[in-house]
Amino acid sequence: MSGRIRVPGDKSISHRSIMLGSLAEGVTEVEGFLEGEDALATLQAFRDMGVVIEGPHHGRVTIHGVGLHGLKAAPGPIYLGNSGTSMRLLSGLLAAQGFDSVLTGDASLSKRPMNRVAKPLRDMGAVIETGPDGRPPLTIRGGQALKGLAYAMPMASAQVKSSLLLAGLYAEGKTSVTEPAPTRDHTERLLRGFGYPVGVEGATASLASGHVLKATHIEVPGDISSAAFFLVAASIAEGSELLLEHVGVNPTRTGVIDILRLMGADISLENPREVGGEPVADLRVRAAALKGIEIPEALVPLAIDEFPVLFVAAACAEGRTVLRGAQELRVKESDRIQVMADGLLALGVKCEPTPDGIIIDGGPMGGGDVHAQGDHRIAMAFSVASLRAAAPIRIHDCANVATSFPNFLTLCAHVGIRVAQEAQL
């Protein structure tokens, strides 16, 4: 594999730019917006609540902000597709509005746990009803007076943290969230980018109501979660050298680089710069002989979305890789531990799932049939595995790649991964 590519914009920042731009005073311009289904679901939700949004045209979006108190009730339930980020962050924001809202999603999202945001929001005074077992749909009653909360999160989650901070924009007094391990901090950075004061001390982020968001210009960096597929691909394909341009290297997201380097990957950061409060660099990756490692638990929350393709790296590494402390992977778009293990076993890789992780013994990989269970990251991970498989891999049930990476197949073709889409029956 060789060449230089630019992966699509960061999904997390794309979501948040629409949310904060809608609540800001003035017109916000966004460049590099990810036109994937998840971020488009957030965009549509704010259109449904009366915000005028132009675009996206080639990643450019213009948002005519309505201010913190300018949203209107959507005409019906707000449908968020596959996007857990949209549902969790919006629940915090909508808990503080003067109108009722109903949030729904597709079959996959409807299985995901929402009590982790509903419970602390209720502690702030929100009235939120969930479906059975704390799952969607969420019914949020408007007109509640929220009170600030000092919340210690039982489990590291950027979505829960962000949801509470968004509710805190409207809550009486101060809202602070303390996390047990670092998670992505795009919400804190972007709030500041919109001129809203946010305090961060150690593991605690806090803000008080009473300020306004001012429109700004946002340039969304390339998504490191998307870059990860190509970091692993170039590492495992002999003789490769690839340059990934303009990738976000926020320290709360670079766990995948740290883990690959511990395995022996040759990845260097070039031309580091800061764009809109977010660190960005070009990533150069060359093929390297990877070795199995015990993945440090401190890096797990910093690479949580990248594990499907990291499992492929482990399968191609010499020796044993052990992951622990990653039970969060079992409640993603699919049970990513089990689904990846099933796929790797189908390709002849020795691996053993554990309650909170997996043990993978690297070795030769055959071809075969794997099932992505509708999970975009699993479909893309097995596409990368094909570089080292002795025979073709057929990946079933992968229509969802568009949720995070709409031009994945085009970029694969550009750098030399041979993936073809078969007709959907």
How high is the pLDDT of residue 42? 97
407, part of any domain: yes
Whether residue 106 sits in one domain with residue 32:
yes
DSSP 301: G
Which one of 200, 219, 238 terminates a domain? 219
Structure confidence at residue 421 as a pLDDT band (50, 70, 90): confident
CATH number at residue 340: 3.65.10.10
Whether residue 295 sits in one domain with residue 195:
no
189, part of any domain: yes
Whether residue 208 sits in one domain with residue 283:
no
Write the pLDDT tens digit of every residue in 61-108. Answer: 999 999 999 999 999 999 999 899 999 999 999 999 999 999 999 998
Write the pLDDT tens digit of every residue in 135-171. Answer: 999 999 999 999 999 999 998 899 999 999 999 999 9
Active site residues per annotation: 305
Structure confidence at residue 376 as a pLDDT band (50, 70, 90): confident
Structure confidence at residue 334 as a pLDDT band (50, 70, 90): confident
Strand pairing category for 52-57 and 150-152: unpaired
Q: Print the domain residue range for 232.
A: 224-415
Which one of 171, 197, 219 terminates a domain? 219
Whether residue 230 sits in one domain with residue 137:
no
DSSP 327: G
Alpha-carbon distance of 321 to 99, in angstroms, equals 50
Whether residue 247 sits in one domain with residue 123:
no
Whether residue 255 sits in one domain with residue 112:
no
Whether residue 337 sits in one domain with residue 213:
no
How high is the pLDDT of residue 108? 87
Classify 349 in phi/psi space as left (phi over 0), alpha (psi -120 to 50) or beta. Answer: beta
Q: What percent of the chain has pLDDT over 70?
A: 98
Are 9 and 34 spatial neighbours (Cβ–Cβ below 8 Å)?
A: yes
176, part of any domain: yes
Whether residue 242 sits in one domain with residue 190:
no
5, part of any domain: no
* Structural domain total, the chain: 2
For residues 1-16, give the mean pLDDT.
93
How high is the pLDDT of residue 397? 87
Q: In the predicted model, is pLDDT for residue 402 greater than 70?
A: no
Structure confidence at residue 301 as a pLDDT band (50, 70, 90): confident
Which one of 185, 219, 253 terminates a domain? 219
Per the prediction, the chain carries an average pLDDT of 94
Whether residue 291 sits in one domain with residue 206:
no
Residues in a beta bridge with 53: 63
2, part of any domain: no
Alpha-carbon distance of 109 to 95, in angstroms, equals 20
Q: 17: buried, middle or exposed (CB in 10 Å: 19+, 13-18, 0-12)?
A: buried
Write the pLDDT tens digit of every residue in 221-252. Answer: 999 999 999 999 999 999 999 999 999 999 98
How high is the pLDDT of residue 276? 75
Whether residue 191 sits in one domain with residue 114:
yes
